[in-house]
Amino acid sequence: MSVTPKDILNKNKNLEKRVKVEDIDLNNVTVDDLTFSGNNYKEHINLLSLLENISACQISDAYNGVSHRPGTIKSIKPINNLKVWGKIYTAETTSDDWGTSALAIDDAGEGDILFFKVDNDDKAIWGELASTCAKNNGVKATAVYGSVRDLDALLDMDYPVFASNFVPNAGMALGLGKLNQPIEVEGTQINPGDFFFGDESGIVVIPKELFTKVMISALGVKLKESAIVEKLADGVTLGQVVGLRKK
């Protein structure tokens, strides 16, 4: 494979560089800038500078300001309290079929977040072996609207997992589910390529077409809350900040 001048220049890009929150510029950012393509250095670095410094709570507030929806899936909780973000790869299956999980791992792209809709939580469709394989394949995290298992291993793994329940039992490797098709969970439509953000507080799903607006709004939320924290440090009370008075 030949090396072009562009390849040499791209190798010199400092992908560890970060911008101060107050200097972040998101005007040209899209969901595709989550990955460095070689031509989006500024957008990629500015986006990472934001995502590393905000929370699911702040993104939910921002999305609510844009669409009047929270973007949360309330029943899905963090299993091992790790922060992660990326584009969603969807899968839908039954709790009897953990084989669809294996197929999804093989088909998902590097940096994707696997999001499973399962018909019930009677059996686990995800566990230690699936997490190990997914991590080795470059998948960033897994969210399951259903059950996972092997918490003794998942709690200590450097692989984020979110789920609505956990049980010790599993089904079989049937592989009969649907891959990378639109799904609906708790009234929320989730499409392949939508944005996922998860941390200790829970998860938020943002439609890809609203990604830029929400990220710009999230930056505003972050800056506003940072200013409030500074006022609190100076002795101003939260009631004074929001203009509340005793009656």
Give domain status of residue 189, yes or no.
yes
Q: Are residues 48 and 134 in the same domain?
A: no
Q: Are residues 81 and 61 in the same domain?
A: no
Q: Which two tokens stand for residue 52?
A: 């590393």
Q: Are residues 218 and 141 in the same domain?
A: no
In angstroms, the CA 86 to CA 114 distance is 10
Give domain status of residue 199, yes or no.
yes
Q: Are residues 146 and 185 in the same domain?
A: yes
Which region, left, alpha or beta, applies to residue 193 given φ > 0 means left and ψ of -120 to 50 means alpha? left
Q: Are residues 84 and 151 in the same domain?
A: yes
Q: Are residues 105 and 126 in the same domain?
A: yes
Q: Are residues 97 and 27 in the same domain?
A: no
**Tens digit of each residue's pLDDT, the chain (247 residues):** 344 555 445 555 788 899 999 999 998 899 999 999 989 999 999 999 999 999 999 999 999 999 999 999 999 999 999 999 999 999 999 999 999 999 999 999 999 999 999 999 999 999 999 999 999 999 999 999 999 999 999 999 999 999 999 999 999 999 999 999 999 999 999 999 999 999 999 999 999 999 999 999 999 999 999 888 888 888 888 888 777 777 6
Q: Are residues 235 and 127 in the same domain?
A: no
Q: Are residues 163 and 122 in the same domain?
A: yes
CATH number (domain holding residue 114): 3.50.30.40
Quick check: pTM over 0.75? Answer: yes
CB 40 within 8 A of CB 47: no
In angstroms, the CA 68 to CA 62 distance is 9
Q: Are residues 136 and 61 in the same domain?
A: no
Give domain status of residue 247, yes or no.
no
Give domain status of residue 238, yes or no.
yes
Q: Which two tokens stand for residue 92?
A: 């839908």
Cα 229 vs. chain centroid, distance in angstroms? 26
Task: Please report, in angstroms and rounded to a whole number, the separation of the first and last CA atoms in the chain.
Answer: 75
Classify the C-alpha dihedral 47-37-135-179 as positive or negative: positive
Give domain status of residue 45, yes or no.
yes
Q: Are residues 107 and 51 in the same domain?
A: no
Q: Are residues 48 and 119 in the same domain?
A: no
Domain count, the chain: 2
Helix (H) or strand (E) holding 86: strand 84-93
Token look-up 């562009």 returns 6
114: containing domain: 77-206
In angstroms, the CA 48 to CA 50 distance is 5
Give, in order, the Cα–Cα distances in Å from 201 to each of 72, 83, 89, 190, 225: 10, 9, 22, 20, 17
Instruction: Provide the H-helix boundaries in 72-210.
Output: 99-107, 128-136, 151-154
pLDDT of residue 5: 55
